[in-house]
Amino acid sequence: MPIPIAYTGEGDDKAPPLHWENLPAGARSLALIVEDPDAPDPANPQRTFCHWVLYNLPVNAQSIPDGATLDVLPEGAKLGRNDFNRQDYGGPMPPVGNHRYYFRLYALDTVLPDLKQPTRTQLLKAMEGHIVGETQLMGTYEKTHHRKH
């Protein structure tokens, strides 16, 4: 499913609205990681680039609103640090090719301590042994404007 341009670095660079339901029994908090495994080029991927890190989302929240920033996220939610070295959502802006973007939602059996703006790797480590459920949504994006050299 192509990601609408408003939610990319070419558009408004705002976070997309997300909705979920039917959490597993025993879930006490949720975490969300948005990542691109195709960076920088799907033909020769070198790394997974992280676009957003959220954790301690309360289990009674079933959605993230369009354009969400920390001040409108559900109470208790904390932001990590993405690979743009910022806390807010960073939209797709792939240098070349059609990239895949995975929105991975994790249900945890605990509320995590304050991890002080963890990276994707630090959050995954903190979640080890606590994941009771997981789901994902995948979107794709390819830049519409290619610069001529």
How many structural domains is the chain composed of?
A: 1
Residue 67: both structure tokens together: 């354009």
Tell me the average pLDDT across 12-33: 96
For residue 149, tell me if it sits in a domain: no
Confirm whether 82 is domain-assigned: yes
Q: Is the pLDDT of residue 146 over 70?
A: no
pLDDT in tens, 85-140: 999 999 999 999 999 999 999 999 999 999 999 999 999 999 999 999 999 999 99
Place of tokens 């992280």: 50
Q: Is residue 146 domain-resident?
A: no
Instruction: Answer yes or no: is 148 within a domain.
Output: no
In-domain check, residue 11: yes
Q: Is residue 61 part of a domain?
A: yes
Please check whether residue 14 lies inside any domain of the structure.
yes
Render pLDDT for 35-64 as a digit per residue (tens, 0 to 9). Answer: 999 999 999 999 999 999 999 999 999 999
131-141 and 63-64: which strand pairing?
Answer: unpaired
- Structural domain span for residue 96: 5-18+27-141
Q: What is the pTM of this model?
A: 0.94
Q: What is the arithmetic mean of pLDDT over 19-27?
A: 95
Domain membership flag for residue 52: yes
CATH of the domain at 50: 3.90.280.10
